[in-house]
Amino acid sequence: MKLANGAEYIESLRRLSPKIYYKGKRIKDVTRHPATAPHVRSAAMTYALANKEKYKDLATAASHLTGRTISRFTHVHQNIGDLIGKIKLLRLLGQKTGTCFQRCVGLDGINAVYSVAYEIDQKHGTGYLERFKAWLIHIQDENRMVVGAMTDPKGDRSKSPADQPDPDQYVHVVERRKDGVVIRGAKLHMTGAVNSHDILVMPTTALDERSKNYAIVCAMPIDTPGVTLIFGRQAGDDRRDHRERIDVGKPRFGVVGGEAVIAFEDVFVPNERIFMNGETDHTGTLVYRFAAHHRANYGACKTGLMDVLTGAVSYLAQIQGTAQGSHIKDKVTEMIHLSETLYSSSIACSAEGNPTPSGAYLVDTMLANVCKQNVTRFHFEVARLATDIAGGFLATMPSEYDLKSEDVGHLVKKYFVGVSTIPVEDRIKIGRLIEALTGGTAMVESMHGAGSPQAQRIMIFREGKLGEKIRLAKKLAGIPQ
Ligand code: SF4
Ligand code: FE
């Protein structure tokens, strides 16, 4: 792995020149800009762990293509152990960063495209898998971070891509050349995009025959001409601008993944970086596999965050002198119970995984959907309990400036004290951490990341095998089949 640790990853980003905008201005260096630097540090943790003796086994894998040691974030899952290893790694990273470390979208894209490229080649006699392998070896050996780019803007949702008044609402091919294609469109909500090295473009939905130009899978470096990124706003991001260390809550790492719009304004992609081109019959499978992998993740990375939140409120209860209250213990117990339940479904869908025809392993898709659906409830319940335990001061805390003010600092210290042995600053720091972990942007991600709740409900119903269940019931009731 060329990029062997977090510092080398950060340094590698400085050698790129992507076109990134935030609040109307261009960001020159994502590693130093206050809006993006926390996300860079969070992603850097995926590199750092691979370099630590204690975590090496979890954070790395042997490439099935080269046999060389690679980051697990660039690995094609070869067995159940790989699927479970990923889940354990994600929880660990969630605990260490308290936020999204972004690199899983590329990993899930790699796994989905690998298995589907194999199946397209089998059916259509194309040569996508060999091309994809060549690209993937480059990603693995260099240890590059990939943003898996799936979600299109979608314009008028009642219309299919081919029927949109503006054809650019879905990424599509606008020109075919002998040596490649030119694409136009955009991808929204792209986690970790501004601090990735490469983009892996995939269609966002199952496409019909009329939408051949939209059935495009391809890769390109982030600073390819014609690619523009617009970094999103997050709750409290002005606090970072002013370097309010305590008030940010997690001074080192971001609130969520750091999402961006990626616009493709007539971007040329050479043939060797195209892994699907018009095979609409495989788009549904690709989207579904990507979604299943990503939905499995949420019971792990978010559990890591819930571990931090549970620790934060437990410490706050100690500071406030309420830790021994039976109702506090009961609520903390419920938080732990919900977190572990969530984690169980991540482990379960991995343990029940199966090989695809390519040999790459896929999680159990039903259980992965159940896992993500649980996140949209349990994480909110855990956040509700944390807010309940913490108390109203979460919403009314004075700022760091007041805490440190010569004029009023003594008042903040006097009236925000808890048990006398723990400094007031700890109480405010932990309060801000809880605020960051339960606040708007972080929770929206749990609701809509990896697909909104309704997307999972559709799949759960579709895969529910109701016919079989009806047969079971009729048999036991003595009703002829
Ligand atoms: Fe990974 Fe979780 Fe972030 Fe998705 S939300 S990229 S699974 S850390
Ligand atoms: Fe996400």
The tens digit of pLDDT for each residue in 66-110 reads 999 999 999 999 999 999 999 999 999 999 999 999 999 999 999
Summarised one tens digit per residue, pLDDT across range 268-292 is 999 999 999 999 999 999 999 999 9
- For 376-387, the pLDDT digits (tens) are 999 999 999 999
301 annotated active-site: yes
Confidence of residue 244 (pLDDT cuts 50, 70, 90): confident
pTM for this one? 0.96
User: Is residue 304 in a domain?
Assistant: yes
Q: Among 39, 293, 294, 379, which one carries the catalytic annotation?
A: 294
Distance CA 350, CA 34 (A): 37
Residue 440 above 80 pLDDT?
Answer: no
pLDDT, position 1: 81
The answer to the question of residue 60 being in a domain is no
For residue 164, the model assigns a pLDDT of 94
Which of the residue ranges 17-21, 128-132, 252-256 would you say has the lowest mean pLDDT?
Answer: 252-256
- State in Å: Cα 301 to ligand 1 middle: 6
Q: Tell me, yes or no, whether 85 lies in a domain.
A: no
Atom of ligand 1 nearest to the CA of 105: 6
The question of whether 218 is a catalytic residue gets the answer no
Pick the catalytic residue from 104, 218, 349, 371: 104
| Catalytic-role residue among 36, 74, 191, 303 | 191
Query: Strands, DSSP E only, in 192-296?
Result: 198-201, 216-221, 227-231, 259-270, 274-277
Q: Could you tell me what percent of the chain has a pLDDT over 70? A: 100
Task: Give the closest ligand to the alpha carbon of residue 449.
Answer: 2
Q: Whose CA is nearest to atom 1 of ligand 1?
A: 104
Ligand nearest to the Cα of 300, by number: 1
Residue 29, domain member (yes or no): no
List of E strands, 15-88: 19-22, 25-27, 60-62, 69-71
From the CA of 106, the nearest ligand is 1
Domain membership of residue 250 (yes or no) is no
How many folded domains does the chain comprise?
A: 1
CA of 192 to the centre of ligand 1 (A): 9
The pairing of beta strand 60-62 with beta strand 180-191: unpaired
pLDDT recorded at residue 445: 87
Beta-carbon contacts of residue 454 (< 8 Å; ≥ 6 apart) = none
Asked if 300 and 267 touch (Cβ cutoff 8 Å), the reply is no
Range of the domain at 371: 285-472
Q: 């640790």: which residue's tokens? A: 5
| 168-217 pLDDT, tens digit each | 999 999 999 999 999 999 999 999 999 999 999 999 999 999 999 999 99
CATH number, residue 406: 1.20.140.10
Q: Does 352 reside within a domain?
A: yes
Neighbours of 283 (CB within 10 A): 23
Q: Are 18 and 224 in contact (CB under 8 A)?
A: no
The reply to whether 344 falls in a domain is yes
Domain membership flag for residue 405? yes
